[in-house]
A and B are shown apart, each in its own frame.
Chain A
Amino acid sequence: MRFQFINMMGRVLLHFFQATGALGIFGAKTLYHCFVPPFYGKAFLRQLIEIGFYSLPVVALTTLFAGMVIALQTYTGFAQISAEGAVSLVVLIAVTRELAPVMAGLMVAGRIGAAMAAELGTMRVTEQIDALVTLSTNPFKYLIAPRVLAGVLMMPVLVFIGDILGVCGGYLIGVYKLEFNATTYLMNTWEYLKPMDIVSGLTKAAVFGFIITLMGCYNGFYSKGGAQGVGRATTNAVVSASILILIFNYILTELFFNV
């Protein structure tokens, strides 16, 4: 009985190390091919548009409402200790440090991570990736590097826009619902605005962009077993990216703010 348990634990651990190792090698290979020519500019451009432009509506909506709800909740909480004035500050910090990057990360993981896993997975099971190799094109350069690079570059842009919209959401609630003075609210926001808040959020965004695209590509690239396998790859890509985003969000917050 006990041996069986140890045996099982061992197997789980081995499997874990094997998976992490494979992912590590995949990530290292990807990074290498991001910086070594030839580069495929058109494929890269397509991914920039796909990730950056088409994710804009989802990211804009989620961050706007996140900013609004934070303003509302902060008010109901802080009014009890007569600190309503802190609303603009809380909105600013919450949105730029945490909400915009995490919300955008999770949304883009759902949109882009899933799409990448499904596309690459289908290419794998229909032998299109093999065909690429026979046409002497390196799949890492043609398929994966453009996606990962575009993710790392576009996520900060999305989050920056999310920052602005989140703060706007807070402003809308603060001024039109909670009836703060508009000028004071804006002045407060401006006064408390610290570069570090923005920079930390954008750094997180770049890391999340890497996580999302890497998990999407990795799961898709090694998918097998027809339509079912592609479905599994897609689920794994989104779930693993979401979990990793939350874990790394915590780690990065610790690193940046060192509380």
Chain B
Amino acid sequence: MAFFKRVKQPLIPKIKLSGVSKSFGSKNVLSGVDLEIFPGESVVIIGGSGTGKSVTLKCILGLLTPDAGRVEIDGVDLAAASTVQAETLRAQIGMLFQSGALFDSLNVWENVAFSLLQNQKMSRRQAREIALQKLAQVGLSAEAAEVYPADLSGGMKKRVGLARAIATNPNVIFFDEPTTGLDPIMSDVINDLIVSTVKTLGATALTITHDMSSARKIADRIAMLYQGKIIWTGTVKELDKTDNPYVRQFVAGSAEGPIQMDLKA
């Protein structure tokens, strides 16, 4: 073995999508998505409503199986991995669902501490402590911790979902519209939280958002999804200088341009 000197390896992407396609019945949602996300990087996906951003995340997580193409996490194809391997991969992933997806049979802190209680077999006391700390980070008090999800406002649900996603200090985090439904100040608190989470944990983050100010703040790189493909990627600086008409229209938020909303009944 000594004959082989270790050559400096090229950086392996943490997450790699190649040619991922997904249709529902006759409806083609993704048609060949290619995307690489490197360790410690924060990537934001932007794109119109209904273009398949959430579907992309679910394909990466293995909640949906792509019709074609590969999804690799740490170089491992999740679809081909054994159950045990898939579970260990997933254990290092945190996910905030667009709808929150809180367990309504458990109260707020039990939701946040779910993984700590069920998988890490932590004592309830210790788990509650961590949950309260994570809740505080998203601006929720200890009072809210005992409430059941059904009695929360939309924005509060989102923040609980966020606290649950980061509770285990995962090293890959997916955020599906973390600031939708929050007031501007809370949005900025959440942006800061995402940035600091990525920095302090050294985590890799993939965020979906429509909120351009949020995207500018948290993104190292931005990718735009349009008609089932990633049509543009670049840094925030490049975003302002690009002459890609689709991106420019999206960023400007203008109804005039190449992207036509299908408004016919």
Contacts and interface: CB of A to CB of B under 8 A. Distances in A.
B180 interface: no
Given A40-B118, A142-B118, A131 B97 contact: yes
Interface string B9-20: 000000000000
A203 to B, nearest CB: 32
Interface in A127-164: 127-128, 130-138, 142
Interface in B23-63: 58, 61-63
Contact of A133 (B61, B114, B164): B61
Given A128-B102, A128-B104, A142-B118, A133 B90 contact: yes
B211 interface: no
Contacts of A133: 61-63, 90
A37 to B, nearest CB: 12
B164 to A, nearest CB: 8
B87 interface: yes
Q: Tell me the interface secondary structure of chain A in the complex.
A: helix
Contacts of A126: 99, 101, 104
Given A135-B118, A135-B119, A136-B115, A127 B90 contact: no
Nearest to B168: A135
Contact of B63 (A123, A128, A130): A130
Contacts of A123: 103
Interface in B81-106: 87, 90-91, 93-95, 97, 99, 101-104
A138 B119 CA distance: 11
A130 B103 CA distance: 11
Interface residues of A, number: 16
A202 to B, nearest CB: 31
Contact of B58 (A130, A132, A142): A130
B61 A134 contact: yes
Interface string B103-118: 1100000000011001
B115 to A, nearest CB: 5
A137 B97 CA distance: 16
Nearest to B93: A134
A134 B164 CA distance: 11
A135 B63 CA distance: 12
A131 B103 contact: yes
B91 A136 contact: yes
Which of A131, A134, A138, A142 is the most central at the interface, judged by chain B CB atoms within 10 Å of its CB? A134
B90 A134 contact: yes
Contacts of A136: 87, 90-91, 115, 119
Q: Tell me the interface secondary structure of chain B in the complex.
A: mixed
B182 to A, nearest CB: 19
Contacts of A130: 58, 61, 63, 97, 101
B123 to A, nearest CB: 14
Interface string A22-40: 0000000000000000001
B78 to A, nearest CB: 11
A120 B114 CA distance: 18
Contacts of B103: 123, 128, 131-132
Given A134-B90, A136-B87, A128 B118 contact: no
Interface string A6-21: 0000000000000000
A223 to B, nearest CB: 16
A122 B97 CA distance: 16
A144 B108 CA distance: 23
B160 to A, nearest CB: 12
A47 to B, nearest CB: 12
Contacts of B94: 134
B118 A127 contact: no
Nearest to B115: A135
A137 B119 contact: yes
A135 B99 contact: no
A174 B164 CA distance: 62
A127 B61 contact: no
B101 A131 contact: yes
Given A40-B118, A142-B118, A127 B91 contact: no
A136 B94 CA distance: 10
A128 B95 CA distance: 12
A128 B62 CA distance: 15
Nearest to A134: B95
A137 B118 contact: yes
Interface in A108-133: 122-123, 126-128, 130-133
Given A133-B61, A134-B61, A127 B99 contact: yes
15 contacts: A122-B104, A128-B104, A130-B58, A130-B63, A130-B101, A131-B103, A132-B103, A133-B61, A133-B62, A133-B63, A134-B61, A134-B94, A135-B115, A136-B91, A136-B115
Interface of A: 40, 122-123, 126-128, 130-138, 142
